[in-house]
Each structure stands twice: as C-alpha cells, then as structure tokens.
Amino acid sequence: MDRLTGMSLFVCAVDRGSFAAAARDFGMTPAMVGRHVRALEERVGAQLLQRTTRTQRLTSFGRLYYERCARVLAEIDAMDRTADELRASPRGKLRVLPSAARPT
C-alpha cells in the first residue's frame, strides 16, 4: 500500500476520531482505512492506535508518529501550493517585435 496515502488516512482518522469519518473524507470504506493503518503499523513495527469497536486512542508511539506524519503532510501541501503559485505566474523573457518585423 502507498505509504503517503496510509499516512494521510492515519492523520485524518486521528483528527476526525474514527476510521468511518476518514473513510467518508477519502471516499473509501472504513475497512480499507483500517488496512492502510495496519500496513503502517506493520511497516514501523509498532501499534499506532489502540482500537475497540467504539473508540480509538493513540499509543505513545502513535502520538509521536502522528505528529511527524502531520508535519510531513503539511510540508507536502506547502510544496504543492508553491508549485501552483509558480505555475500561475508568468516567467521567462517576453520579446516584443515591431509590427514590421513580425513573421507572416
């Protein structure tokens, strides 16, 4: 599974309080959100969330991982905004030729 998607889903699930809310935001099932979070947990070798059918809580490692993921995702969003701004602004050299010098 894509690590960046997993990180985004994990952060969203923590922010929104449930896999179901994160699933609605991303247009997928809560089970798929759970699979992404489990894949992250397997990747880092530690449990990120203590889950029951009704609640979820960050583990101590999960809190650290959440904070770092949130920062990484914020940096990616900032890079995307910068790229959008650069594309929106004209760049380069503009040459204006007199009308007689224009090619036909």
Q: Considering the domain boundaries, does residue 33 fall inside one?
A: yes
Q: Considering the domain boundaries, does residue 90 fall inside one?
A: no
Q: Considering the domain boundaries, does residue 101 fall inside one?
A: no
Burial 62-78 (b: 16+ CB within 10 A, else e): beebbeebeeebeeeee
CATH of the domain at 65: 1.10.10.10
- Whether the predicted model's global pTM rises above the 0.75 cut: yes
Q: Residue 49: which H helix or E strand, with range?
A: strand 49-51
The residue segments making up the domain with residue 74 are 3-78
Per-residue pLDDT at 78 = 96
pLDDT by residue, tens only, the chain of 104 residues = 899 999 999 999 999 999 999 999 999 999 999 999 999 999 999 999 999 888 899 999 999 999 999 999 999 999 999 998 888 877 788 788 887 655 66
Number of domains in the chain: 1
